[in-house]
Amino acid sequence: MAHTSPAPLTQLSEEESLFYTTVRRFAEETIAPQVRVMDDEQKLAEGLVAQMTELGLMGIEVSEELGGAGGSFFDAVLAIEAISTVDPAVAVLVDVHNTLVINALRRWGTQAQQSHWLPKLVAGTVGAYALSEANSGSDAFALQTRAEKTAAGFRLNGRKLWISNAREAGLFIVFATLDASAGYRGITAFLVEKDATGFAVGRKEDKLGIRASSTCELILDGCEVAEENLLGEPGKGYKIAIETLNEGRIGIGAQMLGLAEGAWGHAARYANERRQFGKPIAEFQAVQFTLAEMATEIEAAKLMVYNTARLKDAGQPYVREAAMTKYFTSQVAERVASQCVEIFGGNGFVRDYPAEKYYRDAKVGKIYEGTSNMQLATIAKQVL
């Protein structure tokens, strides 16, 4: 029984397959030996961002003229998938940085903003995306963070919660309400630097899974933002948020796909190694059928992720497909990770083996960047 991947990379071109293989090898050789320590210490390994930067993973879609790899959105999705097979927590940083922050800058940033920030992001300045608040989760536009126009630019006051990459980031896209009377049409996006006056990274959440990924509170106490750091037009922050998160859902789909592939690979290896009643448990039909069902669901998830990413690159509508992708892949990841634990048996329940971490990491797929219920609401609007 083959047990390196549940399905061949039949959907990839030769160039794409080489890129995926390169990132996967990096993940297995460089990230994998550090996964347990990073999970225990709840932080990324020292120097890991620099290594990913050297590999070109911090500017996948940025043009070569600005120092990036000049790749496609599909390339970014492949990188997220490949890293997630080993550690979904590390993939969060690559995902948010590329699919949310860089893509928002590429689409809505001025030429001056792009020329200034994209080379920095490519060179290792980590980006973060600050939308959520204590009372603004699924109701994303119930923002309490306020922006006030000043002679020098803007002043921001409020708090953000659940901000991925917060501890590592040097640049934050922060959403605040500039005109509360306008409702969601008053929401505006700002580029906030980590050393901005009145800005601070607060408490880090102690999470169930993806523990090496920093998820922190942001405190904006009279935070000074220059006029030139306004992203897009005043009052158009809601549009930036919605359209960027539509793309981000595909990235989460890739993360959940990679997680499922990683869990499947460990389960298949263990099934071939673990012996009971005088033979490997992989020879028992019940185990074979479980692995076969897992592989089938993974292949379906792969096709959804790849199809949606290619639709996005082709400039075709993809909102429905992105919501379906995130909804389905998060289900697949949770089921596959759970079945992986069961194949490992008692060993799947202890931290000495990798199964339990995939299981813990999988749960967040149904929660962040739009809960499963929010995805179903989006799908229903598109199909009914």
CATH number, domain of 320, equals 1.20.140.10
Per DSSP (E only), the strands in 78-152 are 126-130, 146-149
The CA distance from 230 to 188, in Å, is: 8
Residue 248 covered by a domain: yes
pLDDT for 67 equals 97
Mean confidence (pLDDT) of the chain: 96
Closest CA to 291 of 234, 194, 299, 57: 299
Residue 3 covered by a domain: no
First-to-last CA distance in the chain?
43
Confidence band for 3, pLDDT divided at 50, 70 and 90 = very low
Confidence band for 7, pLDDT divided at 50, 70 and 90 = very low
Residues 284, 197, single domain; the answer is no
Q: Please, what is the angle between helix 73-84 and helix 285-313, to 10°? A: 150
Give the count of alpha carbons within 13 A of 91, CB side only. Answer: 34
pLDDT tens for each residue of 294-319: 999 999 999 999 999 999 999 999 99
The CA distance from 384 to 266, in Å, is: 40
Confidence band for 5, pLDDT divided at 50, 70 and 90 = low
Mean pLDDT of 254-275: 98
Residues 272, 364, single domain; the answer is yes
Residues 327, 263, single domain; the answer is yes
Which of 81, 100, 125 finishes a domain? 125
Residue positions annotated with a catalytic role: 369
Residue 245 covered by a domain: yes
Number of domains in the chain: 3
Residues 244, 378, single domain; the answer is yes
Confidence band for 231, pLDDT divided at 50, 70 and 90 = very high
> Running DSSP on this structure, what letter comes out for residue 76?
H
Greater pLDDT, 330 or 4: 330
Domain of residue 146: give its range.
Answer: 128-236
Residue 64 covered by a domain: yes
Residues 61, 159, single domain; the answer is no
Residue 1 covered by a domain: no
Residue 254 covered by a domain: yes
H/E element holding 251? helix 237-273
Confidence band for 113, pLDDT divided at 50, 70 and 90 = very high
CATH number at residue 97: 1.10.540.10
Q: 169-177 and 126-130: which strand pairing?
A: parallel
Which of 73, 95, 125 finishes a domain? 125
Residue 377: pLDDT over 80: yes
CATH number at residue 190: 2.40.110.10
User: CB-based contacts of 316: which residues, under 8 Å, 6+ apart?
Assistant: none
Residues 252, 370, single domain; the answer is yes
Residues 246, 369, single domain; the answer is yes
Residue 195: pLDDT over 60: yes
Which of 64, 97, 125 finishes a domain? 125
Residues 50, 118, single domain; the answer is yes
Residues 203, 92, single domain; the answer is no
Residue 302 covered by a domain: yes
Q: In sequence order, what are the beta bridge partners of 230? A: 190
Q: Please, what is the angle between helix 88-95 and helix 237-273, to 10°? A: 160
Residues 253, 203, single domain; the answer is no
Closest CA to 60 of 122, 107, 124: 122
C-beta atoms surrounding 241 within 10 Å: 23
Residue 244: pLDDT over 70: yes
Confidence band for 8, pLDDT divided at 50, 70 and 90 = very low
Integer Rg of the chain from CA: 21
Residues 229, 247, single domain; the answer is no
Residue 38 covered by a domain: yes
Residues above pLDDT 70, as percent of the chain: 97
pLDDT for 2 equals 45
The CA distance from 203 to 227, in Å, is: 29
Residue 88: pLDDT over 60: yes
Output the CA angle 69-70-71, nearest 5 degrees: 90
Mean pLDDT of 231-251: 96
Residues 243, 372, single domain; the answer is yes
C-beta atoms surrounding 267 within 10 Å: 29
C-beta atoms surrounding 243 within 10 Å: 15
pLDDT tens for each residue of 116-147: 999 999 999 999 999 999 999 888 888 999 99
pLDDT for 247 equals 95
Residue 251: pLDDT over 70: yes
The CA distance from 192 to 216, in Å, is: 16
Using alpha carbons, list the distances in angstroms from residue 175 to 72, 156, 178, 181.
26, 10, 9, 16
Q: Please, what is the angle between helix 73-84 and helix 237-273, to 10°? A: 40
Closest CA to 208 of 345, 362, 332: 362
